[in-house]
Amino acid sequence: MSVDMRTYLAHVELANPITTAAGCAASGDELSQFVDLSRLGAFVTRSITMAPRAGRPTPRMAETPSGLLNAVGLQGPGVDVFLERELPRLVDRGARAVVSIGGGSVAEYTALARRLADAPGVTAVEVNLSCPNVEDLGRVFARDPAAAAEVVSSVRATMRYDVPVVAKLAPDAADIVAVARACVDGGADALAMINTPLGMSIDVDTMRPALAAGTGGLSGPAVRPLAVRCLWQVHAALPGVPIVGMGGVFSGRDALELILAGACVVSVGTALFHDPYACLRILRELEDLLKERGFERLADAVGLAQRPPGAGPRHRIDLEESSL
């Protein structure tokens, strides 16, 4: 018996829970040399901005223990080129496109949402809240519940009603549950976490910061415990809200850990740099692990670690309804 791997991102059904993570799969052309994008649960684009962006200077990447620091700076072609070239190619390849958007002001997010509202083939919109708010001294939207909620509600109001809006949260907020709750109150249909926390590395040979930008986002297995903690806290506080989990998922076991903490979709990011086949390998490993543990449906594992001890999958009948 195979495991039913279907999952829901708000009301949208995905064939399986494994997606790429924003900013880790470029336009899709690169990954499609290796894997059939239509076999992913969804393809999450890099964060699209209104204008083309050249990003940050190099060096943009530094390896740290079980992690990577990066400061790419949302390099991308801008929304016009994205809609004209990249999105249609994703749709042609049969990928379900979750479009990540990034901006420096509420107006910019709203304008992006307006551009996406008429575009065919947008499965969901992910709002990257880790961008600096130029109207608020460069403070990151995700650190402030009110600023995050303002962006989300503005995107929600602009986007077509049938396209879920996913708020992507940063782990280095003072109170991630407060930010999550504000986003949901603002109209977010789902939450994604975690974006990369800020880190820094100094090259002791050159005695200079390893990244040109100084600080960068930390990703990879090093941040997985942070992701699990954030998922756990937010799922406990908002059990009905679907969560896209990510943070150092390199194997099926890692994906299962996030699912047990409360994720119903799992994104693969840094692992794609290590293994271009990572998404499909992790999906296969996850399915095997669920089967070994007696699950018939992925949905039964979501948030299971939060339920009382002894409430295993075989006693499913006694359990409360799945959060899906």
Q: Tokens standing for 206?
A: 């050159």
The answer to whether the beta carbons of residues 99 and 47 sit under 8 Å apart is no
Residue given tokens 């996406």 in the structure block: 116
Asked if 61 interacts with other proteins (CB under 8 A), we say yes
Q: Where are the alpha helices (DSSP H) in the chain?
A: 29-32, 79-81, 87-92, 106-117, 145-158, 176-185, 224-237, 252-261, 271-274, 278-292
Asked if 25 interacts with other proteins (CB under 8 A), we say yes
Residues 295-324 that bind other proteins (CB under 8 A): none
The least CB distance from residue 55 to other proteins, in Å, is 6
Choosing from 13, 36, 38, 78, the residue that interacts with other proteins (CB under 8 A) is: 78
Q: Tokens standing for 56?
A: 């940050």
> Which residues are within 8 A (CB) of 153 and not within 5 positions of it... i.e. 6 or more apart?
186, 187
The least CB distance from residue 83 to other proteins, in Å, is 13
Instruction: Tell me whether residue 24 is one of the annotated catalytic residues.
Output: no
What does 181-249 look like in DSSP terms, one character per residue?
A: HHHHHTT-SEEEE-PPPEEE-EETTTTEESSTTSEEEEESGGGHHHHHHHHHHHHHH-TTS-EEE-SS-
* Bridge partners of residue 97, in order along the sequence: 43, 122
Asked if 63 interacts with other proteins (CB under 8 A), we say yes
Choosing from 58, 85, 175, 307, the residue that interacts with other proteins (CB under 8 A) is: 58
The least CB distance from residue 42 to other proteins, in Å, is 16
> Distance of CA 145 to CAs 128, 181, 243, Å?
14, 8, 17
Nearer to other proteins, 194 or 241 (CB): 194
The least CB distance from residue 92 to other proteins, in Å, is 19
Q: Which stretch binds other proteins (CB under 8 A): 7-15, 56-64, 146-154, 228-236?
A: 56-64
Asked if 225 interacts with other proteins (CB under 8 A), we say no
Choosing from 88, 239, 276, 313, the residue that interacts with other proteins (CB under 8 A) is: 276
The least CB distance from residue 63 to other proteins, in Å, is 5
CA atoms within 13 Å, Cβ hemisphere of 285? 16
- Judged by CB under 8 A, the number of residues near other proteins is 46
Q: Tokens standing for 36?
A: 């059939």
The least CB distance from residue 60 to other proteins, in Å, is 4
Asked if 111 interacts with other proteins (CB under 8 A), we say no
Q: Which stretch binds other proteins (CB under 8 A): 72-80, 93-101, 172-180, 285-293?
A: 72-80
The 232-271 site mask, x for binding other proteins (CB under 8 A), equals ------------------x-------------------xx
Residue of 133, 111, 114, 132 lying closest to 122 (CA atoms) = 114
Residue of 141, 259, 130 lying closest to 197 (CA atoms) = 130
The answer to whether the beta carbons of residues 9 and 190 sit under 8 Å apart is yes
| Phi, psi torsion values for 114, nearest 5 degrees | -65, -40
Nearer to other proteins, 78 or 94 (CB): 78
Asked if 87 interacts with other proteins (CB under 8 A), we say no
* Bridge partners of residue 192, in order along the sequence: 168, 244
Asked if 112 interacts with other proteins (CB under 8 A), we say no
Given the residues 131, 183, 264, 279, the one annotated as active site: 131
Active site (catalytic) residues: 131
Contact residues: other proteins, CB under 8 A: 23-26, 29-31, 33-34, 46, 51-61, 63, 65-68, 70, 72, 75-78, 80-81, 212, 220-221, 250, 270-277
